[in-house]
């Protein structure tokens, strides 16, 4: 890293904002190394939730009473807050969903069903989360589209040569859509999103970026990335569970999207046998939204944006580098690249002769929370010939001492199973 | 780092020596020449897998049990103990053992009868509720394999197999 942040993170002060980080698990201070599954929430976010339910609870976009107006204003204010965070021109480019998974399902249904036909190619990658695979499996069943996959190389990076060739193909197998993750939830690999989007657009291919693992680490510039759709969840980025967004990169895309879920809020006029629809984004938000969660997510983005994104990145790289340094000599098989700067915050590994579940149980006994399993990426596990792995993930509130506690806990687990 | 490698007494109830012995050298690895019933089990939460194959002798005893386990110490040892308990039983006896094992894992006491052999060593898993599914996996797969066995046994007796669909065995 050549950039050095002007404002390094004050991790001790940050930790004081997260009530759960001062709790104990199994009689030991909690060491939370599972932020890639969900992040912990700062007091500011918890307060925003309580505040909404204490002072502003009403359904949004419906009633005319005072509370309803206040709730609607806060809800739409949160939409504008997200639009600023991801640098899109208008709040109308933000669709509220339940999270990354629903966002991708929305694209597959609202855009996919309208624009793709039997034989059309959808390009995906081997490193994608089930959330960016299964919605396309379902589309393939509905529409007969063909799925192709960019392979993952042994070093945990995408086979970019393959991707470039597929994106430049102008034959009958030219992909119509390319859906890929910005950052692997298992390998930590950060993909060159802007370059891939630029190549896709040069060929008229629509891009869907899974930003679930990238957005938590600082503002994402959709204009600079040039993607058509960006999906993410609030809960991995300090926000509450149950809400997320689909960012529509260009408003013109709305002209080629059909409604996908029907109900209240997405309509203009309803007769018994037919209905017309609200303008986007409400057209894609059927039913009562998770307004409190959306509003609390705005507080999470305020919290994130008050920190220096370069400092967040440097902190996560430092923790990742320390983890790699401590874990490498222990004889573990670490999946992914050796370069901590390209995998910041995520280290998944296989412990010889100890199954990840057993590793996780033994670490839990020391108050250390890690993820064990297939990480919702079964094809990627198969690609690397493992059933499951243990994953430690680091975020802005983790410390070097916690990484050392992980290494000590792993050494003890290996010793325990060697007895 | 050696100071932290001390024994971990909290886990000794879960990872008893007999459990680790079964884990390191699980019984039932040998493949069967003939398979009369089978099921491929998976825990979708963690991705652990176990395949259970059964072979039955002409006098109706389970003479062959094969387990191919890809899982944690708890699920692999539970499968190994399953082998010991099921081999040589009739499907009816196997079902009694299966029911007894499930009852124990769901919180019941070890029964005097049927004898559950080394399974008592797995009782500690009850203190780790998230791991009960691991211990159950081979047994729920056995349940499916027994159903497969019974449905195959029923098949020749049915004159019109095409109408057999939906038949409960």
Q: Which H or E element spans position A372? A: strand A371-373
Interface confidence (ipTM) of the complex:
0.79
A309 touches chain B (CB under 8 A): no
pLDDT of residue A223: 94
B4 touches chain A (CB under 8 A): yes
Q: Does A254 sit behind a cis peptide bond, omega within 30 degrees of 0 on the bond before it? A: no
CB A121 within 8 A of CB A173: yes
A365 touches chain B (CB under 8 A): yes
Cα separation, A255 vs A122, whole angstroms: 20
CB B91 within 8 A of CB B37: no
pLDDT of residue B129: 87
Buried b (16+ CB within 10 A) or exposed e, B19-56: bbebbeebbbeeeeeebbbbbebbbeebbbbbbbbbbb
Active-site option among A197, A227, A245, A376: A376
Q: Does domain B11-152 have CATH number 3.90.45.10?
A: no
pLDDT of residue A396: 97
A415 touches chain B (CB under 8 A): yes
**Residue of A355, A360, A368, A378 to mutate, testing the B interface (most B Cβ within 10 Å of its Cβ):** A355
Provide the H-helix boundaries in A285-337: 291-305, 309-327
Contact criterion met (CB < 8 Å) for A365 and B11: yes
Give the closest-approach CA distance of B47 to chain A in angstroms.
6
**Residue of chain A whose alpha carbon sits nearest to that of B133:** A357
**Residue of A130, A357, A370, A384 to mutate, testing the B interface (most B Cβ within 10 Å of its Cβ):** A357
CB A82 within 8 A of CB A94: yes
Chain B contacts of A381, Cβ < 8 Å? Answer: 47
B13 touches chain A (CB under 8 A): no
pLDDT of residue B8: 59
Q: What share of chain A is helix, strand, coil (3-state, %, to 5)?
A: 45, 15, 40
Q: What is residue B42's three-state secondary structure?
A: strand
A372 touches chain B (CB under 8 A): yes
B7 touches chain A (CB under 8 A): yes
Contact criterion met (CB < 8 Å) for B14 and A387: no
State pTM to two decimals. 0.91
pLDDT of residue A5: 65
Chain A contacts of B45, Cβ < 8 Å? Answer: 373
pLDDT of residue B168: 37
pLDDT, one tens digit per residue, over A334-388 is 999 999 999 999 999 999 889 999 999 999 999 999 999 888 888 999 899 888 8
**Residue of chain A whose alpha carbon sits nearest to that of B12:** A416
Say what percent of chain B tops pLDDT 70: 86
Across the A/B interface, how many CB contacts are shorter than 8 Å? Answer: 67
Task: Give the residue among A24, A364, A23 at the shortest CA–CA distance from B8.
Answer: A364
Give the closest-approach CA distance of B22 to chain A in angstroms.
13
Chain B contacts of A365, Cβ < 8 Å? Answer: 8, 10-11
**Residue of chain A whose alpha carbon sits nearest to that of B17:** A419
pLDDT of residue A2: 45
Torsion of CA A165, A167, A170, A174, to 10 degrees: 110
Q: Does B114 sit behind a cis peptide bond, omega within 30 degrees of 0 on the bond before it? A: yes
CB A100 within 8 A of CB A244: yes
A376 in catalytic set: yes
Of A373, A387, A408, the CB nearest to B4: A408
Cα separation, B75 vs A247, whole angstroms: 43
Contact criterion met (CB < 8 Å) for A411 and B1: yes
Of A358, A411, A419, the CB nearest to B72: A358
The Cβ of residue A94 has, within 10 Å, a number of other Cβ atoms equal to 24
A388 touches chain B (CB under 8 A): yes
DSSP code, position B112 = S
Could you write out the DSSP letters of every residue in A100-111?
A: HHHHHHHIIIII
Of A361, A387, A416, the CB nearest to B47: A387
Q: Is the pLDDT of residue B7 over 70?
A: no
Q: And the tokens for B54?
A: 């059964």
A345 touches chain B (CB under 8 A): no
Of A26, A355, A381, the CB nearest to B71: A355
A357 touches chain B (CB under 8 A): yes
Of B11, B49, B131, the CB nearest to A416: B11
- Give me the tens of pLDDT residue by residue for chain A, a chain 419 residues long: 445 666 789 999 999 999 999 999 999 999 999 999 999 999 999 999 999 999 999 999 988 899 999 999 999 999 999 999 999 999 999 999 999 999 999 999 999 999 999 999 999 999 999 999 999 999 999 999 999 999 999 999 999 999 999 999 999 999 999 999 999 999 999 999 999 999 999 999 999 999 999 999 988 999 999 999 999 999 999 999 999 999 999 999 999 999 999 998 898 999 999 999 999 999 999 999 999 999 999 999 999 999 999 999 999 999 999 999 999 999 999 999 999 999 999 999 999 889 999 999 999 999 999 999 888 888 999 899 888 899 999 999 999 999 999 999 999 999 998 88
CB A244 within 8 A of CB A234: yes
CB B19 within 8 A of CB B56: no
CB B52 within 8 A of CB B38: yes
Enumerate domains of chain A plus CATH numbers: 11-32+308-418 (3.90.1150.10), 47-304 (3.40.640.10)
Which comes out higher in pLDDT, residue B93 or A387? B93
Task: Give the residue among A346, A362, A372 at the shortest CA–CA distance from A409.
Answer: A362
């Amino acid at each position: 890293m050549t950039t050095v942040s002007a404002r390094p993170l004050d991790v001790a002060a940050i930790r004081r904002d997260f009530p759960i980080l001062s709790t104990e698990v199994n009689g030991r201070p909690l060491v939370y190394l599972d932020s890639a599954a969900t992040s912990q929430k700062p007091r500011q976010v918890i307060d925003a939730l309580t505040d909404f339910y204490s002072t502003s609870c009403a359904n949004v976009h419906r009633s005319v009473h005072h509370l309803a107006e206040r709730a609607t204003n806060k809800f739409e204010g949160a939409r504008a807050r997200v639009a600023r965070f991801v640098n899109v021109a208008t709040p109308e480019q933000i669709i509220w969903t339940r999270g990354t998974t629903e966002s991708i399902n929305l694209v597959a249904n609202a855009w996919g069903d309208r624009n793709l036909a039997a034989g059309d190619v959808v390009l995906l990658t081997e490193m994608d989360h089930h959330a960016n695979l299964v919605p396309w499996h379902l589309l393939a069943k509905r529409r007969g589209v063909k799925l192709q996959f960019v392979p993952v190389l042994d070093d945990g990076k995408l086979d970019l040569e393959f991707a470039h060739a597929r994106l430049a193909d102008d034959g009958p197998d030219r992909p119509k859509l390319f859906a890929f993750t910005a950052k692997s939830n298992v390998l930590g690999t950060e993909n060159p999103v802007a370059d891939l989007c630029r190549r896709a657009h040069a060929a008229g291919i629509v891009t869907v970026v899974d930003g679930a693992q990238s957005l938590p680490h600082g503002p994402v510039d959709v204009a600079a990335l040039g993607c058509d759709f960006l999906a993410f969840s609030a809960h991995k980025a300090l926000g509450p569970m149950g809400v997320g967004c689909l960012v529509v990169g260009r408003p013109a895309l709305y002209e080629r999207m059909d409604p996908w879920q029907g109900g209240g809020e997405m309509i203009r006029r309803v007769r018994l046998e037919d209905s017309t629809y609200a303008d986007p984004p409400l057209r894609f938000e059927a039913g009562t939204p998770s307004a409190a969660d959306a509003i609390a997510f705005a507080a999470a983005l305020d919290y994130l944006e008050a920190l220096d994104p370069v400092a967040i990145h440097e902190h996560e790289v430092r923790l990742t580098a320390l983890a790699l340094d401590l874990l490498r000599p222990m004889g573990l098989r670490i999946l992914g690249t050796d370069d901590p700067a390209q995998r910041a915050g995520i280290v998944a590994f296989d412990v010889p002769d100890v199954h990840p579940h057993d590793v996780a149980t033994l670490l839990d006994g020391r108050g250390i929370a890690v993820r064990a399993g297939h990480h919702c990426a079964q094809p990627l596990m198969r690609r690397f010939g493992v059933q499951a792995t243990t994953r430690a993930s680091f975020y802005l509130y983790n410390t070097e001492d916690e990484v050392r506690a992980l290494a000590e806990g792993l050494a003890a687990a290996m010793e325990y199973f060697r007895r | 780092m050696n100071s932290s490698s001390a024994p971990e007494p909290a886990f000794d109830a879960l990872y008893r020596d007999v459990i680790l012995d079964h884990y390191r050298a699980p019984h039932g690895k040998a493949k069967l020449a003939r398979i009369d019933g089978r099921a491929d089990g998976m825990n979708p939460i963690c991705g652990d897998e176990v395949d259970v194959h059964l072979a039955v002798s002409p006098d109706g005893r389970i003479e062959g049990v094969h387990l191919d386990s890809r899982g944690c110490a708890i699920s692999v040892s539970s499968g190994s103990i399953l082998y010991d308990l099921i081999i040589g039983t009739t499907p009816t006896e196997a079902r009694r053992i299966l029911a007894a094992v499930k009852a124990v894992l769901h919180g019941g006491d070890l029964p005097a009868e049927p004898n559950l052999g080394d399974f008592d060593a797995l009782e500690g898993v009850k203190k780790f509720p998230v791991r009960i599914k691991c211990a159950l996996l081979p047994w729920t797969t056995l349940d499916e394999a027994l159903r497969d066995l019974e449905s195959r046994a029923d098949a020749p007796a049915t004159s019109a197999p095409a109408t057999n669909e939906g038949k409960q065995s």
